[in-house]
Structure 1
Amino acid sequence: MTRRTAPLVAGICCIGTSELLPGGMLSQLGSALNVGVATAGLLVTVYAVTVALAGPVVTVLTVGAPKSRLATWLLGVFVVGNIVIATAANFPLVLLGRVITASVHGAYLATAIVVTQRLLPVERSAKAVTAIQFGVNLATVLGIPAGAALAQLGGWRTPFVVISGVAALATWGVHRATVHLDIGIPEPNARQEISALLNIDVGLTIGATALFSGAMFTIITYFEPSAVAAGFHDAAVPVLLVAYGAASILGNSIGGRLAGRARGPRLLTAAAFIVGCAAFLPLQRSVITFPIGAVLFALATFSLIPVLQSDVLDLAAAAPSLSLSTNMSAFGVGAALGSFAGGQVIRLHSVHDVPVAAVVLALGGFVLYGWRHLRPTAPAPVDRNKEVSHVQA
């Protein structure tokens, strides 16, 4: 991360924190807004659905806009949405604020990757996905625990006020860092973006992302009840989440290195994710092994995410925004799929069996991802290490 990319990463951190924060304080939100916990859960569900539906639509509607200016606008809309949440007098207004923030989620992340790639030197442009994903890691390690603490100290509105302020500063920083970036750079048109999205290999990768994401969220959504079932007290869950978040940063670093390599390491990363899901099944059952399972799962999960994003960026390099945004939407689809699958497993069996559903979804993702890489006419992935060596030579 450089001084010029830091505001973009800060924006991602704010978005990631705002996205996941309500899931950790549904009881508090329900009590304050006079709704049940199940109704308060709509703040999570509606957000995920909006991300899935709005990302590609917003990207198409803004396709000709200069990317750096677009990043500033989208982050500004996110600030407005959080202000609506922080000042809302009732549940429908909070839900409206969530819809506003979710509507720019996928488009901003996709745009931020493109802008970061332009900001970095050619020999480091492969790190754009890793740099942006680092913002999500920061949200996991710092943003969500800090937001939960602020909610306990000052009420549920406090973290959204702070997020609004930090995101406003990030918006100003993005503008300052990128004000002259797009001069002389032609932006792809809608036809080019749609053509890139319709590439069969892009489609297979996005489909794999949805299933892999479903596996991730099957476990992540029910992390707290799994920890309690293992024998932890509720108060220990934030500590476990910090350990999970720290492992996610290391995983992101590993994934960033593997994303720049050829076919074999990418497929091995996907296979390692299945192992991470499967390992959580026996390791989640005691207070001694649960943290080990959580760390292994975080390493496997966050090693895979940059690989998937990088694959889409490689395949749609000439016009990547719509494909990247749709891939972000696939994560939203996966979130809904995973939370539903995990809930059904708990209803029919027990919380200890949730990782079984994760393994099934991960295997489905691996089939699609393997097909994308191994079918006879599939293009070979770009080995950026060779590209970088050539540039440096």
Structure 2
Amino acid sequence: MPKAVHVLGLSVFSLGTSEFMLSGLLPPIAEDMGVSIPQAGLLISAFAIGMVVGAPLLAVATLRLPRRTTLITLLTVFALGQVGGALAPGYGLLFASRVISALACAGFWAVGAAVAVAMVPENVRARALSVLIGGLSVANVVGVPAGAFLGEHFGWRSAFWAVGAMSAVALVGVVAFIPRIPIPETRPKLRQEVGIYRDRPVLLAIGTIALSAGGVYCAFSYMAPLLSDVAGLGGDWVPTVLGLFGVGALIGTTVGGRVADAHLFGVLLAGTAATTVCLVALALTAHNPVSAIAVSFLLGVSCFFMAPALNARLFNVAAAAPTLAGATTTASFNLGNTSGPWIGGRVIDLGFGFASTALAGAAMVALSMGTVAWSLGLERRRAANTRLVTGSSRSKRPTDVAGHAVVRTTGHAAVPAAEHTGRNGAHPYEAE
């Protein structure tokens, strides 16, 4: 794996720490800024919404810019956003710094994923993307607890300074190791990139990501009160259990990244099924502290096991728009990260209790299993059509004026057979 991919993973570690560390800093931020905890919680929502909106917008805005320069610029803006947050004298400026940081983070994720895919062979795409996702996993294991520790002992602003310093280190790595990727002679066209949203496999991939991520975060966002109020664990146990979830996430990402390239749909089906089971088990056994701890770890393994495959699938079906594919992946995950907690909150407001968020999340992930099965059915039908076309090419068939064999279909114009297949006879949308 190129060093540049690992540098991108280090950068994602900084981004992920900033994105999630506020969950452990809300009380001191609220007290210092003179706002309520729900108002302070809007800082988290602002970041997630900024990611949803910023990823496609910045991907389009930087479509014709050099990739390396774009990464350097976005990471610099992100680091400055952390400094702005650390120095913010009031809530308004802190809110603005989070929005700016989210936009830069979204753009970096989108472009960084596209760069990682461009630097490796297609048969190791998922493994390369697992390095980036691994940075997010390590952020949950190390970065978020470290941010909470700094906030408790040195004030919440120290956590922002620490992320700013990590971003500066990552920036040095990007400058030193990310190569200058040549700009193709034929520049990407926005109309061509946006056209991927008319493709059913792309839409199914987006739905799968949003539903699976939303289902997990529907329960994970309320894990602290579930562990304390339902499982009866003391407050000191909550960071430990969340850390175990992060360890499971790191294990799942590592294993899933190595398996997904060869068995993409197998990983997706197994991951969604296992995550659904874990969420149901969490809801039914949350009153037992030992079970709640064990299931939390297994949930981290199962949901991050499929994360590299989710990313790789979208890149496979959106090959005509690699930049928007990365942006769409980022926006889809954050759409789930935004909608899942909202749905969980509504379930709690209806009086069903904290454990019910896991059941609501299980229902969302089960729906994502259905979109995976739908996608697999489309792939099998297209693969069958490809075999039919290539298999019959041995027989004599009519040709067009260019000498290409054509396929005659009832009610449709004759189409050159070459348009039905991609490299080496594979369908353009066939998972590799």
- Would the TM-score normalized by the shorter structure come out above 0.5? yes
- Aligned positions of 1:39-50 closer than 5 A: 39-50=39-50
- Shift of the 198–175 alpha-carbon distance from structure 1 to 2, 3 Å rule, reads farther
1:287 shift after superposition: 1.6
AA of the residue aligned to 1:338: G
- Contact kept, 8 Å, 1:202 with 1:316, in 2: the verdict is yes
Alignment match, 1:349: 352
Alignment match, 2:402: none
In the alignment, is residue 12 of structure 1 matched against residue 15 of structure 2? no
Q: Secondary structure at the match of 2:3?
A: coil
AA of the residue aligned to 1:355: A
What is the distance in 2 between the residues matched to 1:204 and 1:122?
21
Alignment match, 1:277: 279
- Shift of the 281–7 alpha-carbon distance from structure 1 to 2, 3 Å rule, reads same
- Aligned positions of 1:248-287 closer than 5 A: 248-260=249-261, 261-287=263-289
- Contact kept, 8 Å, 2:5 with 2:128, in 1: the verdict is no
What is the distance in 2 between the residues matched to 1:184 and 1:353?
51
- Contact kept, 8 Å, 1:56 with 1:325, in 2: the verdict is yes
Q: Secondary structure at the match of 2:289?
A: coil
What is the distance in 2 between the residues matched to 1:336 and 1:242?
22
- Aligned positions of 1:14-53 closer than 5 A: 14-53=14-53
User: Identity of counterpart residues, as a percentage?
Assistant: 27
- Shift of the 34–324 alpha-carbon distance from structure 1 to 2, 3 Å rule, reads same
1:118 shift after superposition: 3.4
AA of the residue aligned to 1:359: A
1:243 shift after superposition: 1.2
1:372 shift after superposition: 1.9
What is the distance in 2 between the residues matched to 1:187 and 1:225?
51
Alignment match, 1:241: 242
What is the distance in 2 between the residues matched to 1:72 and 1:379?
41
How many residues of Structure 1 are paired with residues of Structure 2 in the alignment? 381
- Shift of the 78–185 alpha-carbon distance from structure 1 to 2, 3 Å rule, reads farther
- Aligned positions of 1:55-134 closer than 5 A: 55-120=55-120, 124-134=124-134
Q: Secondary structure at the match of 1:239?
A: helix
- Shift of the 356–326 alpha-carbon distance from structure 1 to 2, 3 Å rule, reads same
Q: Secondary structure at the match of 2:35?
A: coil
- Aligned positions of 1:307-346 closer than 5 A: 307-346=309-348
1:56 shift after superposition: 0.6
What is the distance in 1 between the residues matched to 2:335 and 2:93?
24
Unaligned runs of 5+ in 2: 384-425, 427-432
Shifted more, 267-276 versus 236-245: the winner is 267-276
What is the distance in 1 between the residues matched to 2:260 and 2:189?
27
Per the normalisation by structure 2, the TM-score is 0.83
What is the distance in 2 between the residues matched to 1:331 and 1:13?
16
What is the distance in 1 between the residues matched to 2:346 and 2:164?
36
Alignment match, 2:141: 141
What is the distance in 2 between the residues matched to 1:195 and 1:243?
41
1:174 shift after superposition: 0.5
- Shift of the 262–30 alpha-carbon distance from structure 1 to 2, 3 Å rule, reads closer
Per the normalisation by structure 1, the TM-score is 0.91
1:25 shift after superposition: 1.7
In the alignment, is residue 155 of structure 1 matched against residue 155 of structure 2? yes
Alignment match, 2:404: none
Alignment match, 1:364: 367
